[in-house]
A and B are shown apart, each in its own frame.
Chain A
Amino acid sequence: MSLKFGRLSKSSILGVKTVIYSKLISGGIIGCGIAGLAVALNESVKASDLTLHPPKYPWYHRQGFFNTLDMASVRRGYQVYKQICAACHSMRFVAYRELVNNTHTEEEAKAEAAEILVTDGPDETGKMFQRPGKLSDRFPNPYPNEEAARAANNGAYPPDLSYIVLARHGGEDYVFSLLTGYTDAPAGITVDDGQYFNPYFPGGLISMAQALYNDVVVYDDGTPASASQLAKDVCNFLKWTGEPNYNERMLRVMRIIIYGSAIFLACWYGKRHAWSVLKSRKIMFREKKTVD
């Protein structure tokens, strides 16, 4: 550096630099302030202070980097969905065949599918007919359309649950908190008929009544069915329906890390190999005698 700037006075360069730096810093502070104000204004519009944020729960699939979903819990969660949630909520993107070799055997899944009636057709006479469900059928919709659903639920539309964990901020933590978070409304909040107070629901007033109580379901594997156990299992089930390839993806992550690091190491060696000539090159300088 000193060689390059030999003819220039050092202080003048530093002076210019200082001015530039101070301008940059002051500009940065102002910019950050404006951005922060914009964010703050935006947040205040969301009225997020009325909503309780769910805590992070220790789900099995979150405890380790390569953990799968707890499939026994997912299976129980299917039972909870079928016996409780399915009364109002559809899952129109999930088919019975997806249960096979994930939570149920093929025979069990066929038996589950056969419990529903599916409108099929037209037959030879051009009429629609009802038949028992097959593996290729999807979970039944409790209402024929959205209007019917709203009419039956005080104007509120029970959302489809296929991807609900992905579709809600907070994911399975939110759904779990919502299912177990029903309380009495605090003073100052009026709850109309057909509405319930839930601090985790944005706005606090939800049209869904508390659905999970202790022992409303009898698990076929004998697990004690406390309300929080039911909520945990159904959240695991909803997580699985939202990301049916979750387990496979975890295995793939492991493989990608192994192959990626091998490729990285080889690239790193290749870079060193290619650059070693330049890096170990000797460059000599001869100072030219300046004539004063």
Chain B
Amino acid sequence: MFSVVIKGNTLAPHLKATSYAVGHKAILAAVNASHEGEEHIVSQDFKPIDAHSMRLINGQLKAVSKSVNAIGQVRYAHTDIKIPSFDAYRRESTKDPKKSSLATDADRKAFTYLMTASFAATSAVFAKSVIRGAVSTMAPSKDVLALAKIEVKLDEIPEGKNLTVKWRGKPLFIRHRSAAEIEKERAVDVSSLRHPEPDDQRVKQDKWLIVIGVCTHLGCVPIANQGDFGGYFCPCHGSHYDASGRIRKGPAPLNLEVPPYEFVGDTVVVG
């Protein structure tokens, strides 16, 4: 049991800074300056910080308060209680009691932030793959994609002939142009066209013209090798296209559409 009494120097005995720090299970007792006994202990290190409060003394006294002419507040010092070891919850750096917490501050924070960051990073990777999976369900499936591409063998098409194949539900014209046709289409004055496109922009190889066989007017299928310009002629409203698939006469506003394609050996892959 500890009880500590401090006397005010000038105002005593009227004003007493009295405080009690009492061990666990201690019996409360009104202790006055006059009741001091052999239990009265005043530590050598006991120094007032200010007039109203005291600090920890020797690691034993836990609380000090002040009152006027009466018993002050009583708190328990718990020096007789066994405190379990919390070392499992403490970091190595904080186990040294002589080190200030400020010295290990960056160290401790760094580890916690490192864990947070690694959690965030791995979650981001995880989330990315989940979102990609979810979004890719909206992409066309493989069987649709397999149908979206067609391969046409070019060596089966004689010169000057036009082959019609079905591609994504639309007719596709593949025309083997003769040297005379190529010459003719190249010589056309582009500025005189309704939809000005030079011939070399519409073909990848001069010999082959590949266009979608849908009239840009109202969607009929033009007839090959007819019309005033030797290319295509739409029977519905009389649009004339030349051998480069460009609109030359009639109501259609645009040239025949060129699909994406590439040549692989002697075949063409459209799509």
Contacts and interface: CB of A to CB of B under 8 A. Distances in A.
B78 interface: yes
Interface residues of A, number: 22
A272 interface: yes
Given A284-B78, A287-B25, 19 more contacts: A97-B142, A97-B146, A136-B146, A136-B147, A262-B118, A263-B123, A266-B115, A266-B116, A266-B118, A266-B119, A267-B119, A269-B112, A276-B89, A280-B90, A282-B83, A284-B76, A284-B81, A286-B24, A286-B76
23 contacts: A95-B143, A97-B142, A97-B146, A124-B164, A134-B151, A135-B146, A136-B143, A136-B146, A136-B147, A259-B125, A263-B122, A266-B116, A266-B118, A269-B112, A269-B115, A270-B115, A272-B89, A279-B89, A280-B90, A282-B83, A284-B24, A286-B24, A286-B25
Contacts of B25: 286-287
Contacts of B142: 97
B122 A262 contact: yes
Contacts of A270: 115-116, 119
A273 interface: yes
Where chain B touches its partner, the secondary structure class is helix
B263 interface: no
Contacts of A124: 164
Given A95-B146, A135-B146, A262-B118, A280 B89 contact: yes
B146 A263 contact: no
B119 A259 contact: no
Contacts of A262: 118-119, 122
Interface in B99-145: 112, 115-116, 118-119, 122-123, 125-126, 142-143
Nearest to A261: B122
Interface in B138-167: 142-143, 146-147, 151, 164
